[in-house]
């Protein structure tokens, strides 16, 4: 396994400056945003696909620093009920796949998306419980009329271009846990797998180790994000985990995203890293930073030190049995 970073952390820096900093920090790989919510600060697929010289310069900027691209990311909602919004997210996905093919990058990361509750919706509708029965009718309609038809077509498109998609399981979208991820893969095709992010599982009460084993058994583990979640026991005891307060209202939230090691300790992360090794994952551990209590540089450097230590232990055979 190699250590990398999701470069949107350094979106305020020019690409080459960001790559210099990442390489100097001892990392081996970069995950680069190229549309959707991550934006195009370091990579505009339309420009690179249209200009061979720009494409070569982009590739050279990464390679001459002895880095590799673990994935191109264009997280978005291509199933949005607003057709114009859906079109933009879909175009970003298509261009990311085409660019990945040209660069020899095998993985594109995005969200599954979430439709509305009917053809007349203006906004996505995420179903979280089976009653009243209206919700089950909505869920059935979403999967049968929108989710499965869309992703079946994308699976064909991905196969035609030799690229795979890693869906990041995320509440608010139809794929948010192992069951929904495997349902999508079974219904739509095996070029669809998961970008595994423990931070979205911790606060739902899921065990990342159990999830890793389940998904790897199905051959669906394509990429990995290193991000943590801290759960506030008092706030959770009072309000539960479904929390719509601002991420900036840290004191009152049930949970917040943290740098690895600041939500769950070394024992938990050693079990996760060991499980990656046990299931045969040989890809990149990509650091993602959304810790509102730390600056980008502080959170990044602490994650690098923490994860390097865990990977060194794994490489010398100190497997932490899960």
pLDDT on residue 187: 98
- Calpha distance 322→319 (Å, rounded): 9
Task: State the pLDDT confidence band at 320, using cuts at 50, 70 and 90.
Answer: low
Closest CA to 70 of 217, 287, 259, 269: 287
Closest CA to 263 of 294, 238, 222, 242: 294
Task: State the pLDDT confidence band at 312, using cuts at 50, 70 and 90.
Answer: confident
Task: State the pLDDT confidence band at 321, using cuts at 50, 70 and 90.
Answer: low
Please name every residue paired with 68 in a beta bridge, in sequence order, or none if there are none: 29
Task: State the pLDDT confidence band at 318, using cuts at 50, 70 and 90.
Answer: low
Model pLDDT for residues 186-242, shown as the tens digit of each residue: 999 999 999 999 999 999 999 999 999 999 999 999 999 999 999 999 999 999 999
Model pLDDT for residues 149-159, shown as the tens digit of each residue: 999 999 999 99
Q: Please, how many CA atoms are within 13 Å of residue 168, restricted to the half-sphere of its CB? A: 26
How crowded is residue 249: how many other Cβ atoms within 10 Å of its Cβ? 11
DSSP state of 33: E
pLDDT on residue 317: 66
* Cα-to-chain-centroid distance, residue 84: 24
* Cα-to-chain-centroid distance, residue 133: 32
Query: Does residue 316 carry a pLDDT above 90?
Result: no
Model pLDDT for residues 51-69, shown as the tens digit of each residue: 999 999 999 999 999 999 9
pLDDT on residue 57: 98
pLDDT over 90 percentage in the chain? 96
Look up residue 14 and give its two tokens: 């020019």
According to DSSP, the β-strands at 164-168 and 2-6 are unpaired
Average pLDDT, the chain: 96
pLDDT on residue 231: 98
Say what the pTM is.
Answer: 0.96
Domains of the chain by start residue, with CATH? 2-315 (3.20.20.150)
Could you write out the three-class secondary structure of 250-315? Answer: CCCCCEEEECCCCCCCHHHHHHHHHHHHHCCCCCEEEECCCCCCCCHHHHHHHHHHHHHHHHHHHH
* b/e burial code for range 35-73 (CB count within 10 A of at least 16 → b): bbebbbbbbbbeebeeeeeebeebeebbeeeebebbbbb
Query: Does residue 313 carry a pLDDT above 90?
Result: no
- Calpha distance 84→90 (Å, rounded): 10
Contact 1, 283 (CB under 8 A): yes
pLDDT over 70 percentage in the chain? 97
């Amino acid at each position: 396994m190699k250590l990398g970073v999701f470069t949107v952390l350094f979106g305020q820096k020019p690409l080459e400056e960001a790559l210099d900093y990442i390489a100097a920090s001892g990392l081996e790989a970069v995950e680069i945003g190229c549309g959707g919510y991550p934006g195009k600060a370091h990579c505009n697929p339309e420009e690179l696909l249209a200009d061979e010289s720009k494409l070569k310069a982009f590739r050279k900027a990464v390679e001459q620093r002895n880095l590799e691209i673990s994935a191109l990311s264009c997280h978005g909602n291509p199933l949005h009920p607003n057709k114009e919004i859906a079109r933009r997210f879909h175009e970003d996905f298509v261009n990311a796949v085409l660019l990945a093919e040209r660069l020899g990058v095998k993985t594109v990361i995005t969200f599954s998306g979430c439709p509305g509750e009917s053809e007349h919706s203006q906004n996505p509708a995420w179903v979280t419980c089976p009653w009243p029965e209206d919700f089950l009718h909505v869920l059935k309609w979403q999967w049968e009329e929108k989710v499965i038809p869309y992703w079946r077509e994308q699976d064909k498109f991905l196969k035609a271009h030799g690229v795979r998609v890693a869906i990041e399981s995320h509440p608010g979208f139809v794929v948010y846990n192992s069951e929904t991820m495997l349902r999508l893969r079974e219904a739509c095709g095996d070029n669809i797998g998961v970008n595994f992010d423990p931070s979205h599982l911790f606060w739902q009460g899921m065990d990342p180790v159990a999830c890793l084993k389940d998904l790897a058994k199905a051959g669906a583990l394509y990429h990995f994000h290193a991000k943590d979640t801290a759960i506030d026991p008092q706030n959770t005891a009072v309000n539960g985990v479904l929390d719509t307060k601002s991420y900036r209202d840290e004191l009152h939230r049930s949970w917040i995203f943290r740098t690895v090691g600041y939500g769950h300790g070394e024992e938990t992360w050693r079990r996760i890293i060991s499980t990656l090794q046990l299931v045969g994952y040989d890809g990149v551990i990509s650091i993602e930073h959304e810790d509102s209590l730390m600056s980008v540089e502080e959170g990044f450097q602490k994650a690098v030190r923490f994860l390097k230590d865990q990977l060194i232990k794994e490489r010398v055979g100190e497997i932490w049995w899960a």
